Amino acid sequence: MKTYRHIFFDLDRTLWDFEKNSAETLLSIHEEFSLGEQIPDQDLFIVKYNYFNDHLWDEFKAGTIKKAELRVRRFELLLAYFDIRDEELVSKISRFYLNTNPLKKELIPGAKETLEYLHGKYELYVISNGFYDVQLTKLISSGISKYIRKTFTSDRIGIAKPKPGIYNYALSSVNARKAESVMVGDDAVNDVHGAHYAKIDQVYFNRNGIPSRIPPTWEITNLLQLKEIF
Ligand SMILES: [Mg+2]
């Protein structure tokens, strides 16, 4: 068995509970902007947001829209679904979401316990396709920034997962040898295939039972299983 020294984590949906935090933010929006009368069903508000957001993310990944456009458009479509057409409200809500969401604290079950266990035995880092300031805010608000030695994001490095370049950049900047490094993440393509092509071992945190085309070095369904691997 290999001796690992460096563990690289994905952040959203691997440590930070993106779905729960986003739902909380949407509930705050529903209240803050007094949408109760026009949109009585809060669950539907969240379900429809996720629907439009997912579609726009697919378009973003395909390169047909820019991120700035996605951030406004998802709320434009959401409000239009409920027959609200108000450009100013859309832009206020979009800003509120971006400012509030990273302040939410929900972590994936077992995240804190696992980081506490690994911290001190290994050097821990984050590699994320998010924005640096946003991801750092999430780490701080959720109370896990103390475990993470360094955070690498695609916006700062200029290369996004699954491109091996982001992995190579992160490893060399902390002098981590590939044979002593491992990537942990919930996305088969970005985290498993990306690390595989960068010749780094991978732990696939397979939360939704989606098989990876490339078999990962390790596969887990619960973060606490990391304590058995490391
Ligand atoms: Mg993720």
Q: In terms of Cα–Cα distance, which of 49, 15, 4 is closest to 29?
A: 49
Assign domain 6-17+107-229 one CATH number from 3.40.50.1000, 2.40.10.10, 3.40.367.20, 3.40.1210.10.
3.40.50.1000
Examine the pLDDT at 94 and tell me if it is beyond 90: yes
Assign domain 18-103 one CATH number from 3.40.50.450, 1.10.150.240, 1.20.1250.20, 3.40.50.10860.
1.10.150.240
Q: Is the peptide bond before 162 cis (omega within 30 degrees of 0)?
A: yes
Which tens digit of pLDDT belongs to each residue from 43-64? 999 999 999 999 999 998 899 9
Ligand 1 center to 191 CA (angstroms) = 8
- What is the predicted pLDDT for the residue at 117? 97
Distance of alpha carbon 209 from alpha carbon 196, whole angstroms? 20
Ligand 1 center to 128 CA (angstroms) = 8
pTM for the structure as a whole? 0.92
Q: Where in the chain is the domain with CATH 1.10.150.240?
A: 18-103
Mean pLDDT, rounded, for 72-80:
98
Q: Do residues 119 and 147 touch, judged by C-beta distance below 8 A?
A: yes
What is the 3-state secondary structure of 57-82? HHHHHCCCCCHHHHHHHHHHHHHHHC
Mean pLDDT of all residues in the chain? 96
Maximum C-alpha span of the chain: 60
Categorize the per-residue pLDDT at 1 as very low, low, confident or very high, splitting at 50, 70 and 90: low
Ligand 1 center to 188 CA (angstroms) = 9
Q: Where in the chain is the domain with CATH 3.40.50.1000?
A: 6-17+107-229
Ligand 1 center to 223 CA (angstroms) = 13
Ligand 1 center to 186 CA (angstroms) = 5
Which tens digit of pLDDT belongs to each residue from 200-230? 999 999 999 999 999 999 999 999 999 999 9
Ligand 1 center to 81 CA (angstroms) = 28
Give the position of tokens 């990876």. 212
- What is the predicted pLDDT for the residue at 67? 87
Report the SS3 class of residue 7. strand
